[in-house]
Amino acid sequence: MTNTTDRHLIKKFLRNELTKEEKILFTARKEDTSFLEALENEMIAVQSRQELKKKLQGIGADHKKQKTTTPKRFAPIGIAASVILLLGAIFFFNQDVNNQELFDDYYTSYPNIYSQKGTSDDDKTLFEKTMILYDAKQYPLAQQNFETINSERELTDGEQFYYGITLLEVNNTKTALAQFKNMTNTASPLYKDAQWYLGLCYVQENDVDKAKIVLTELQKIVGKNKQEEIKTILNQL
């Protein structure tokens, strides 16, 4: 990896703009001394720029006089403090990557349980047409249909559930999480599955405490195989 690529990776990290693939690359460099030194130097530079910006914002009306004044040299943060910041950043960064990997390992889309055999195209409801799109993995179009239904009336449990899955498929985890969270009817045949996806949403959002609460409660009401699966996730959070 070139220095230019290193700088690009570091700058994107500090702006919290890394893609999933770039996060993996970043984590792989955590024991590379030259890369860590470059990251430390950039962290120092960022802090100095922030201090400079604050100083400039406080400049008075006498602009010309201030322009001719030699700027004060800002002392970089101490090496010990920098290393602590660096290690802290890597710790939380690694947690983010691990939780994303955990989500990817356990997430699968849910099969369509609504049979449409014997129904002509003209007689299909918008939800039935949406589920055809869902089966065809045309998730953006399915999302549009779900939003149209939701604009006209309240979604049923089934519609809300598949809307949530569709949102996960288009990487809209926050809105998907809200759909599963709103499915509070314990008598619904999809309630347990909704809680499973809700827990995974919290994992992906790095909300470990809420993920543990949801998955621990779910563990009490599911079968043995799912209990073991949940236990594995909880041990890795």
- The 10s digit of each residue's pLDDT in 147-191 is 999 999 999 999 999 999 999 999 999 999 999 999 999 999 999
Structure-token pair, residue 96 = 């983010």
Using DSSP, state whether 69 is helix, strand or coil.
coil
List alpha helices for the chain, DSSP H.
3-14, 20-28, 33-57, 63-67, 79-106, 126-135, 139-152, 157-169, 173-181, 191-204, 208-219, 224-236
Looking at the chain, how many residues does it have?
237
Which position has the higher pLDDT, 129 or 29?
Answer: 129
Taking residues 70-86, report their average pLDDT: 51
Residue predicted with more confidence, 97 or 223: 223
List the chain domain ranges: 3-106, 121-236
Report the pLDDT averaged over residues 120-131.
86
Burial of 132 (0-12, 13-18, 19+ CB in 10 A): middle
Tell me the mean pLDDT in the region 206-212.
95
Say which DSSP state 122 is in.
Answer: G
| Cα distance between residue 204 and residue 180, in whole Å | 14
How many whole angstroms separate alpha carbon 196 and alpha carbon 230? 9
For domain 121-236, the CATH class is mainly alpha
User: Which tokens hold the place of 35?
Assistant: 């890369």
Residue of higher predicted confidence among 77 and 219: 219
Instruction: Name the token pair of 17.
Output: 């703009």
Query: pLDDT higher for 2 or 140?
Result: 140
State residue 73's pLDDT score.
Answer: 44
pLDDT band at residue 117 using 50, 70 and 90 as cut-offs: low
Task: Indicate if the pLDDT at residue 66 is higher than 70.
Answer: no
CA 174 centroid distance within chain? 8
pLDDT band of 88, cuts 50, 70, 90: low
Residue 8 has pLDDT above 60, yes or no: yes
Residue 119: which pLDDT band, with cuts at 50, 70 and 90?
low
Q: What is the mean pLDDT of the segment spanning 192-209?
A: 96
Mean pLDDT computed over 81-99: 60
